[in-house]
Amino acid sequence: MENTNDREHAWPRLHYADWRDTAATLQLWTQIVGKVRLALSPWLNHGWQVPLYVNARGLGTSAMHAGRRIFEIDFDFADHRLVVSTPEARERGFALEPMSVASFYRRCMAELDAAGIRVTIEVMPNEVPNPIRFPDDELHASYDAAAANAFWRVLVQAERVFRLFRTSFLGKASPVHFFWGAFDLAVTRFSGRPAPLHPGGIPGLPDAVTREAYSHEVSSAGFWPGDERYPDAAFFSYAYPTPQGFAQAQVEPAAAFWSDPMGEWLLPYEAVRTTADPEAALLRFLQTSYRAAADLADWDRDLECEIGVPRRPRAVRSATP
């Protein structure tokens, strides 16, 4: 039987109001690191070349290439350090502690320069209200180490369930990745059909990026820690284009609700973490919201399969003559 303390450690309390300032600062720090990856990576469909990834100690870029050189940047939320790894040195970096975005920007770029990584990034933040250029931002300067660690632990559990959910789809699906613009963890399924041209208009995001991201029909789900519009951590699920009747669909568990302002289904994180089986509740939300979108949009349901099992290959289906 699972120990309650173990479950509460894995699914910790995370109320947006408790760490609002740290969340705002950390979002901007991750954008600086993410923009390094953006500057050095050839464009991949739907912007998949830019996200960060959950790892064993925090969030990281995975391997990046600067010419013929390889390196990585990680946010270590266990020891609270920014780590730059190269073949020449296992790691270099600095402590994550209260400091302004401007200071973080200067220190991050100095570490890259010292490691021989030459890169110039776009210094205007994306997808945040009232953006301030990174070198000029002395306003955002908070870092609550305990809150950052709790956020990472939530991402670890969400990513684990998202990966499991991803195995039950045979069609095109994104990796589970962390988008530093919107500050969310997401996984996306594709019907395979082109979508209507997205109208764009997302604040702080070029229309060309939005339209390329939504060039094909999607059903996307994820987690984000909340913001000023909706100041609570929540899981979300949406479809583009939104099929008629999606807002009235039967989505489980009972705590899930449709948000007109957000245009998506939401499931409060607090409702998940306090239930007897958080994993099962989250998986039910992912499955029922996807199925509702797929039914209403007439997706090819042959793209679905059973959840994957370790060491068991998929049975191969014979092609219809």
What does the pLDDT look like over 141-151, one tens digit per residue?
Answer: 999 999 999 99
Per-residue pLDDT of 196-218, as tens digits, reads 999 999 999 999 999 999 999 99
Rounded Cα gap, residues 298 and 292, in angstroms: 10
Residues 75-93: tens digit of each pLDDT? 999 999 999 999 987 779 9
**How many angstroms from the chain centroid is the CA of residue 32?**
16
Q: Element (H or E) spanning 202, and its range?
A: none
Q: Which long-range contacts (CB under 8 A, 24 or more apart) does 106-109 make?
A: 106/135, 107/82, 108/32, 108/33, 108/36, 108/73, 108/82
Q: Is the pLDDT of residue 320 over 70?
A: no
Instruction: Give the type of residue at 169.
Output: F
For 81, the token pair is 């350090």
- Under the banding of pLDDT at 50, 70 and 90, the label for residue 321 is low
3-class DSSP assignment, residue 240? strand
pTM of the model: 0.95
Radius of gyration of the chain (CA): 20
What are the residue ranges spanned by the domains of the chain? 19-136, 145-303
Average pLDDT over residues 100-121: 97
pLDDT at 4: 66
Phi, psi of 280, deg, nearest 5:
-65, -40
CB atoms within 10 A of CB 12: 17
What angle separates helix 16-40 from helix 101-114, to the nearest 10 degrees?
Answer: 30
C-beta separation of 143 from 98 below 8 A: yes
pLDDT of residue 2 exceeding 60, the answer is no
Of the candidates 61, 69, 1, 62, the residue with the CA atom closest to the CA atom of residue 32: 61
Please state, in angstroms and rounded to a whole number, the distance separating the CA atoms of residues 99 and 111. 16
pLDDT digits (tens, 9 = 90+) for 151-187: 999 999 999 999 999 999 999 999 999 999 999 999 9
pLDDT at 259: 97
The pLDDT tens digits for 292-316 are 999 999 999 999 999 999 999 998 8
